[in-house]
Structure 1
Amino acid sequence: MAQKSILLVIFGTLSAAYLGGGSKPTLTLSPDHHPFIGDSVTLRCELSVSSGLVFYWYRHTQTSDPVAQTDGNSYNISSVEISDGGQYWCRAGRGDPVFYTQYSDAAEMKVTERPKAIITKSNWTKFFSGEKVSLRCDIKSGEISDWEYRWFTYGLMVMRFSSHKGDEFEINTPEYEINPSRSGRYACKGRRKHGGRESDKSDAVDITLSSQKAHAVLSSFSHIWLTEGDSVTLTCEVRVSNAGWRFLWYKNAPYRPGFPQVFHESSGYYVELVSDSIRGAGGSYTLSPAALRHTGVYVCRAERGEPAYHTEFSNPRPLLVTVAFSGVSPPASVIIHSNWTQIFTSEPLSLSCGVQGHATGWRLRWFTNRREKSKCPTDWRSETGSSCSISSASSSDFGVYWCQSDSGEQSNPVNITIHNGNVILESPVHPVTEGDPLTLRCRYRYQPSNISADFYKDGTLLQNSTTGEMTIPAVSKSHEGLYKCRNPERGESPQSWIIVKAPDSGSSLLVTVGTVVRLVIMFVLIIMLLLLYLFKKLKGLSTQKTQTSLPPSSGQQRGSTKQRSNQEESEAAGTDHGPQAEYMPLQRDTADVYDTINAEYIPLQPRTTDIYETISHGQGDGNGEEYEEVASLHPGAEA
């Protein structure tokens, strides 16, 4: 028994020496410690001596039963799950009883879900010629960042993601620029640089690339003519793809360095960014309230992306603003020496800026198919001051003209039509004031120029005229609109916009003040006449009271007695003295002098002896003396 124990000790000592002198094995995981669900992972237990050994694999704790036992130094998990994660150890052993090596250091395996690649792109999938297209492949996988990327179109790998660094390419850039000439369905996936494990492939995105440059479109206005204070909204859009755009608004302006130049048909002009326009995604810009300074030609364009990609400029749209009333007329105006806004082709045309007072720096501006050349359009003659003329106008001279100062002030715009037909409408150049008459005339190109015509407003027949003229005696705001004339045999004129403005506020004030002054004067005159009338009436009554209060003189008493006697004789004879019975003549050489007294103003006073009923005219006693007789009206007086 003692001999057997000694043999076991000797054998164990030899086994330990054979296993490496009690050395410690090394545990490794391949391809790495961070597998994804479904990956294959191999664990290796490295020893200097491995033949004849049995390897034991432990998870979570060293004291637990081994999860696996292999004859070789490797242990493979073909498809790992989350539950396979944790700390692992290994050791080797042989014999019976088994002699073991030391435990290896722990190695942790962290199993995670397989990440899916995500394509990050702009919010739009349709791109235009010259626009940068960028797709970014992102993989969210915790702390792991050693990815390289591969891109696919329609399932086929097209290229690796690469960035240029010196003369070499490194597969480490998570961006891929698609050739702008290619459209397709694109997807990406990531591959770990160490270990080669891959992410899931991203969802595919469809990219459409156009060979054309994007164009902005500026919608038409309901009316190009506005009155100060009106409101108008400009609308811009990119009709093929309206996603992600920021809109910018421009207005024509004199040349300055840095201003973009816009070409439309055969005309070119410079524009500047409208300072108060909003660079928004809404695609609209509102002018409210409209003012004279808003007169001009407007264009828009759009931009998106970084760096910004710009569309082509939109088609130009003129916007014409006139003053609301004549009291605030601008200091300059366009003068058309033909006095009409419509002329025939081949007729001369002369325009100038009429300036009030001593204003300077005004020049003619226009929006036509003529390019600028010095101060006047191409092929026009520049005259002194701010005048331009052409001896034979053509259809390319059709357009909008206005005067503009160096400081940016503008006059009322004028729309001039050069007509190639045989009939034009002669209408006022400038707005018509409310209450004024308006005369329209239909003119024929050849002689006789007067023709019968039908006149229309906004497409509705207004009047038939045999003389070719139509007159509105007093215009109102309702008369504003588009007018034209038509002759069944000769043809139809172009339309002209008639603007009706409010009366001059200064003139209205003067009229109001004049009316008030006249009314005040009339009132004062009436008061004065009334006071004069009352004064005269009161004076007359005062005179009558003075006469009735005086006592009768002896001559008057005799006259009264004689008058009564004559009155009785007249009554007895049935005669009437007429007017002579009502008046008393002026008495001379008496202390009491009376003017003619009308008896009907002396009231009858009963039971008094000092009241006289009738004053009559009497004659003297033959010695040339005149006297008066007063008849007593006392009841019971004897005849």
Structure 2
Amino acid sequence: MDQSTGWQFYWYQHTQKHQKNTTDTNSYTVNIDSVSDGDSGKYTCRGTTRDGQNSEISDAVTLTVSNETEAVLSVSPQKWLTEGDSVTLICEVYGSSTGWTFSWYRDDNDCKYKVLSDSSRGAGGNYTLSSAAVNHTGVYKCRGERGERAYYTEYSNTQTLWVTGVSPSVSLIISPNRTQHFTSESLSLSCEDQSNSTGWTVRRYTDSGYLQDCSSSIYWGSQTGSTCRISYTYTSGVYWCHSESGEISNPVNITVHHGDVILESPVHPVAEGDSLTLRCLYRYKNPSVLTADFYKDGSLLQKQTTGEMIIPTVSKSHEGFYSCKHTERGESPKSWISIRGETELNN
């Protein structure tokens, strides 16, 4: 009984199936030590005095308990970065916004997620890399935590950051030399080394979320020396070279398209001031060049060219996602074109 007021309080839980008296208490507050599904429902209370007078029943308050609180991870402004760019990973808890701290995890290309040592930087739901480096390339996820008993959310969805370095020691050479390919084409990927490192392996992270070495499956490739040969392309993903000592090349996003039209665009970043040539290719006739419209970030750049668009002098503003479209044959996927600035070239 509350000695200051003379009231004793009763609490009621109203579920879909029944109403029950949850407790009586000498205080006007009630605590649930460890919530569970059974605690979901509407709660009301009423007070009683020593002489038996009852208050009105209070308004109902709804408590919802979820077994699997969902954490959702997103990236701003984008996943494809040039060394030195800023990027923020954003972790949000679905249906709940307060009281959470977050832990952050990264797969460093060895198929094992490790908690980041500076994970506390994500206490507000954001984890920011103010100057991205090549070694920040990897697959990230997060998890929320709150309460004295450390209630955790499920692990979030994954997001992958790909950071293009200024002067990598190795380059991934692709033949045919383009980022988009038709299904069932043959493809060669070679690691061209500038530092005499050994044990280079071609790896990929597929769109379906699998990390694989070239020779890990006979169904997608075979590696001889530093060259991976794919007889029949069928899976899109990000490809890179990985050495025994942990060095990596710049990643290349390879898109395998089931349709009849693809975009021919540079595999590696284009230097600011250079020219940029794009072509729209048709699957048949090895492949032929199509008259087409060209788009950047979804907006029309050039209409019905001879199948080729040339930007004589590129600048950083030309960086973005490009595609082409033929009125009858169809539309290509989008490919990211990175522009390397003069300051980056001189570093």
Please classify the TM superposition score into its range, dividing by the shorter chain length: 0.7 to 0.9
Report the TM-score, using the length of structure 1 for normalisation.
Answer: 0.46
2:222 aligned partner, one-letter code: S
CA RMSD of aligned residues (A): 3.6
1:417 aligned partner, one-letter code: T
Q: Which residue of structure 1 lines up, in the alignment, with residue 38 of structure 2?
A: 181
Per-residue CA distance 1:108-161 (angstroms, 9 max, x = gap): xxxx5457679xxxxxxxxxxxxxxxxxxxxxxxxxxxxxxx864358434799
Q: Which residue of structure 2 lines up, in the alignment, with residue 389 of structure 1?
A: 229
Do residues 474 (structure 1) and 338 (structure 2) align? no
Match of 2:103 among 248, 253, 260: 248
Q: Which residue of structure 1 lines up, in the alignment, with residue 65 of structure 2?
A: 209
Alignment of 1:295-310 (within 5 A): 295-310=137-152
Structure 1 residue matching 2:325: 3-state secondary structure? strand
Report the TM-score, using the length of structure 2 for normalisation.
Answer: 0.80
Distance 1:159 1:314, change over 3 A: same
Structure 2 residue matching 1:313: 3-state secondary structure? coil
Distance 1:355 1:160, change over 3 A: farther
2:91 aligned partner, one-letter code: C
Q: Which residue of structure 2 lines up, in the alignment, with residue 223 of structure 1?
A: 78
Residue 430 of structure 1 deviates from its aligned partner by: 0.2
> 455-464 or 434-443: which moved more?
455-464
Per-residue CA distance 1:538-561 (angstroms, 9 max, x = gap): xxxxxxxxxxxxxxxxxxxxxxxx
Q: Which residue of structure 1 lines up, in the alignment, with residue 189 of structure 2?
A: 351
In structure 1, how many angstroms separate the alpha carbons of the residues matched to 2:153 and 2:330?
Answer: 43
Distance 1:319 1:157, change over 3 A: same
Alignment of 1:444-455 (within 5 A): 444-447=282-285, 449-455=288-294
Are the equivalent residues in 2 in contact too, given 1:293–1:408 (CA < 8 A)?
no
In structure 1, how many angstroms separate the alpha carbons of the residues matched to 2:6 and 2:215?
Answer: 70
2:126 aligned partner, one-letter code: S
Distance 1:484 1:217, change over 3 A: same
Residue 409 of structure 1 deviates from its aligned partner by: 3.7
Q: Which residue of structure 2 lines up, in the alignment, with residue 484 of structure 1?
A: 323
Per-residue CA distance 1:26-59 (angstroms, 9 max, x = gap): xxxxxxxxxx89xxxxxxxxxxxxxxxxxxxxxx
In structure 2, how many angstroms separate the alpha carbons of the residues matched to 1:338 and 1:301?
Answer: 41
Are the equivalent residues in 1 in contact too, given 2:169–2:249 (CA < 8 A)?
yes
Per-residue CA distance 1:361-401 (angstroms, 9 max, x = gap): 4433332126345554542233123443321111xx21222
Residue 245 of structure 1 deviates from its aligned partner by: 1.5
Are the equivalent residues in 2 in contact too, given 1:371–1:377 (CA < 8 A)?
no
- State which structure, 1 or 2, has the greater radius of gyration over its C-alpha atoms: 1
Residue 289 of structure 1 deviates from its aligned partner by: 1.1
Q: Which residue of structure 2 lines up, in the alignment, with residue 498 of structure 1?
A: 337
In structure 2, how many angstroms separate the alpha carbons of the residues matched to 1:152 and 1:208?
Answer: 15
Alignment of 1:84-483 (within 5 A): 113=4, 152-153=12-13, 156-158=20-22, 177=34, 179-184=36-41, 185=43, 206-210=62-66, 212-255=67-110, 269-278=111-120, 280-323=122-165, 328-368=166-206, 369=208, 371-372=210-211, 376=215, 378=217, 379-394=219-234, 397-447=235-285, 449-464=288-303, 466-483=305-322
Are the equivalent residues in 1 in contact too, given 2:83–2:134 (CA < 8 A)?
yes
In the alignment of these two chains, the number of paired residues is 330
Structure 1 residue matching 2:135: 3-state secondary structure? helix
Distance 1:451 1:286, change over 3 A: same
In structure 2, how many angstroms separate the alpha carbons of the residues matched to 1:344 and 1:208?
Answer: 50
Structure 2 residue matching 1:383: 3-state secondary structure? strand
Q: What runs of 5+ residues in structure 1 fail to find an aligned partner?
A: 1-35, 38-111, 119-149, 162-173, 190-195, 256-268, 510-639
1:181 aligned partner, one-letter code: G
Are the equivalent residues in 2 in contact too, given 1:375–1:386 (CA < 8 A)?
no
In structure 2, how many angstroms separate the alpha carbons of the residues matched to 1:374 and 1:227?
Answer: 24
Structure 1 residue matching 2:132: 3-state secondary structure? coil
In structure 1, how many angstroms separate the alpha carbons of the residues matched to 2:263 and 2:91?
Answer: 34
Per-residue CA distance 1:505-527 (angstroms, 9 max, x = gap): 88x79xxxxxxxxxxxxxxxxxx
Distance 1:402 1:371, change over 3 A: same
Are the equivalent residues in 2 in contact too, given 1:380–1:388 (CA < 8 A)?
no
1:457 aligned partner, one-letter code: K
In structure 1, how many angstroms separate the alpha carbons of the residues matched to 2:98 and 2:216?
Answer: 40
Q: Which residue of structure 2 lines up, in the alignment, with residue 634 of structure 1?
A: none
Residue 248 of structure 1 deviates from its aligned partner by: 1.6
In structure 2, how many angstroms separate the alpha carbons of the residues matched to 1:460 and 1:160?
Answer: 66
Residue 352 of structure 1 deviates from its aligned partner by: 3.2
In structure 2, how many angstroms separate the alpha carbons of the residues matched to 1:435 and 1:178?
Answer: 62
In structure 2, how many angstroms separate the alpha carbons of the residues matched to 1:117 and 1:246?
Answer: 37
In structure 1, how many angstroms separate the alpha carbons of the residues matched to 2:33 and 2:149?
Answer: 16
Are the equivalent residues in 1 in contact too, given 2:170–2:195 (CA < 8 A)?
no
2:336 aligned partner, one-letter code: W
Structure 1 residue matching 2:97: 3-state secondary structure? coil
Residue 337 of structure 1 deviates from its aligned partner by: 2.0
Residue 403 of structure 1 deviates from its aligned partner by: 2.7
1:314 aligned partner, one-letter code: S
Per-residue CA distance 1:42-85 (angstroms, 9 max, x = gap): xxxxxxxxxxxxxxxxxxxxxxxxxxxxxxxxxxxxxxxxxxxx
In structure 2, how many angstroms separate the alpha carbons of the residues matched to 1:231 and 1:350?
Answer: 33
Q: How many percent identity over aligned positions?
A: 52
In structure 1, how many angstroms separate the alpha carbons of the residues matched to 2:313 and 2:80?
Answer: 22
Distance 1:151 1:177, change over 3 A: farther
Q: Which residue of structure 2 lines up, in the alignment, with residue 619 of structure 1?
A: none
